[in-house]
Every structure is written in structure tokens, then in C-alpha cells.
Amino acid sequence: MLKGCVQFSSRPNITNTINMVPVMHVARVVVASMFDTPVEPLSVVQMTSHPRLTFNGFVGSLENYGYTVPQVSYDEWRKKMEQIEDHAL
């Protein structure tokens, strides 16, 4: 997604949140769950991030690294993507 935004020189306006958890946190939880006696066999551990990162904030961070990726409407960005796909076929 980040590469696509750089290639299109724009980023879509998407207000959804992203559930991203740092890999070191995931590793710690996996190791800790191996030593914890589960209540039920094959129990599940669910991890979520708090606070959740917004998609606009995540993709917008490209500009902090020197990429010019102005925010455009999702429909405008999608049309650019569809035009690229048409030429690729």
C-alpha cells in the first residue's frame, strides 16, 4: 500500500483504523503463553493495539520521510489504480 501511494504520488482518504501490534510485543505474548497454563486446551490469545492507528495517519507518515503524497478522495485514488491495472493487462 505504501509503495502504491508513492507510485501514484497520492494517498487515499480512508478513515478506518489499523490494528497493528509491534512484532516484539507479539513475540513476548507468544513466549509468555507457552509458560502459562491455559484454562482450556488450544486456547486463543487475541492481541489488539491501543490506541489504534488510523489509516490516514499511517499512510500520511510517508510525508515525514520526504515523499510527496497529497491526500485525495478514495474514488480519485481508486480510478488511478484502475487505470494502471488496465494498462498492465
Task: Note the pLDDT tens digit of each residue in 6-33.
Answer: 988 999 999 999 988 889 988 988 888 7
Residue 89 clears pLDDT 60, i.e. is over it: no
What pLDDT, on a 0 to 100 scale, did the predictor assign at position 2? 92
Only one residue has cell 510527496, namely 68
Q: What's the pLDDT score for residue 31?
A: 85
Helix segments in 1-89, DSSP class H = 2-8, 23-35, 55-60, 74-88
What pTM, to 2 d.p., does this model score? 0.67
Reading the block at residue 64, the C-alpha cell is: 515525514
Q: What is the DSSP letter of 71?
A: E
86 pLDDT above the threshold of 80: no
> What is the distance between the alpha carbons of residues 51 and 36, in angstroms, rounded to a whole number?
26
